[in-house]
Amino acid sequence: MAMSSLLTSTVMSLLEDNSDGFGEATTRRSTSRVYPLCTEFFCDQYFSAQKIISLAMMLGRVAIALLIMLLGLKMEKDYMRSITNTIFIPIAVSELFTIYIEIAFFQDMFSQSPTQSTDFKATYINWTTDFVQIINDYVSINTVVLLPLLLYCGRVATLPGDRINAFPTNMICLIMQIVPFFVCILNYVERQNAAVVLKVLAATSRIITIICFVAIFVLIFVSIVVVLRELPDEAATSVDMQIRDARSRLAWTLIYIIIPFITLIPFVIEGIYYIFHIQPEANSFGKMVSLICELLIVMVNFYRPTWMVVITMICLPPYRRAVPLLFCCCSCCPKVNVEPLPRKENESSLMYRYADL
């Protein structure tokens, strides 16, 4: 099936219409439509073959966004769980909002007159374009700032015991939410107001993306060096799996990072265009690169939950071990045995002792 067929959904229409105005396009289409378009639930005008595929993809994305959070309930304290949950909570909120958007558009098809349709859209639909952009900005920046933390934690876990300091992972992840929150607000205000000062402030998100991209690039090479060298003797003989397997866990984290790192490239290029105010001429190579990056950004935002859950379940060891227990949720079911790192009860300056603070 062609890519254009797979990208047919209401949310994709909202995402792709950043410049032309979704409300105007909807108004033009609605002036010649019949009212109501649907009179029964299983309406042929809505449930086309492409729409059924789109709805199946939407429900699949919602399910898999919640899947990782369910897997987290099956394991003990772990920095991978803390960081992954922080990444997936905004994704889950975003995917649940897509359900609302589809329900609202479906309900509008039962409007009895143009006036009723216009009022319904003004109340329940028109504002969703801005909200989708805000959510996408939040999810994107949140993921970008947490990926370097994931690599850093994996590298720290390979250090000798006396160099592993207390690391309240959950608290740090919570504090880091300040960054995507203010960035998405700045971007929203900039889209509503063309003032030069706001455009300068809106460049913050692009700067953060580029800085995190460089940080991930550097940490990847540092982590490769760490993976290639031997662990300390105390780690190799430890009974704690997270200490003994720290090198393999870091190697799997590197594999996990590959796809998110590659998908950051169009965001980085778009950020460079924005920061340096590059405006290529029509039909030039630079313009083609800009348009391709815009399309890739829309596709990354749309498909992020899908590939994130796949690589999380395959590449992150605690989640890979938790998958078989996903559907075993009664009180007698065992939890995945993933202990805090490291586990030395007589010492206080230990990483992840306070992982759940």
Number of folded domains in the chain? 1
Tell whether 345 is covered by a domain.
no
Residue 236: per-residue pLDDT: 63
Tokens of 19: 């410049």
Tokens of 116: 């009723």
Tell whether 130 is covered by a domain.
yes
18: Cα within 13 Å, side-chain hemisphere:
15
Q: Please list the residues that pair with 336 across neighbouring strands.
A: 75
- Amino acid making up residue 103: I
DSSP codes joined into one string, 222-274: HHHHHHHSPPPHHHHT-S-HHHHTHHHHHHHHHHHHHHHHHHTHHHHHHHHHH
**Whose structure tokens read 């690391």?**
167
State which of 3-12, 299-308, 343-352 shows the largest mean pLDDT: 299-308
Residue 58: per-residue pLDDT: 80
Higher pLDDT, 62 or 258: 258
Tokens of 215: 């940080």
Residue 258: per-residue pLDDT: 94
Q: Is the pLDDT of residue 52 over 50?
A: yes
Q: What are phi and psi of 343, to 5 degrees?
A: -115, 90
Q: Is the pLDDT of residue 352 over 50?
A: no
Q: Is the pLDDT of residue 7 over 50?
A: no
Tell whether 331 is covered by a domain.
no
Q: pLDDT tens digit string along 90-113?
A: 998 988 898 899 999 999 999 888
Higher pLDDT, 330 or 268: 268
- Its domain, for residue 236, covers 3-325
State mean pLDDT over 140-145. 94
Question: Which CA distances in Å does 119 have to 13, 28, 66, 244?
Answer: 20, 15, 34, 62
Residue 198: per-residue pLDDT: 76
For residue 280, the 8-state DSSP code is: P
Residue 1: per-residue pLDDT: 40
CA distance 154 to 254: 9
Which distant-in-sequence residues (6+ apart) come within 8 Å of 313 by Cβ?
67, 68, 71, 319, 320, 323
Residue 15: per-residue pLDDT: 58
Tell whether 354 is covered by a domain.
no
Tell whether 57 is covered by a domain.
yes
Q: Burial of 159 by CB count in 10 Å (0-12 exposed, 13-18 middle, 19+ buried)?
A: middle
CA distance 110 to 113: 9
Tokens of 243: 């200490």
Tell whether 8 is covered by a domain.
yes
Q: pLDDT tens digit string along 18-29?
A: 544 444 433 334
Tell whether 16 is covered by a domain.
yes
CATH of the domain at 295: 1.20.1070.10
Q: Please list the residues that pair with 75 across neighbouring strands.
A: 336
Tell whether 355 is covered by a domain.
no
Residue 300: per-residue pLDDT: 92
Q: pLDDT tens digit string along 233-290?
A: 666 666 556 666 788 889 999 999 999 999 999 999 999 999 988 888 888 899 999 9
State which of 165-179, 180-194, 254-268, 342-356 shows the largest mean pLDDT: 254-268
Tokens of 20: 């032309």
CA distance 167 to 156: 10
State which of 77-86, 116-125, 301-310 shows the largest mean pLDDT: 116-125
The 10 Å Cβ neighbour count of residue 348 is: 9
Among 87, 114, 160, CA closest to 350 = 160
Residue 346: per-residue pLDDT: 39
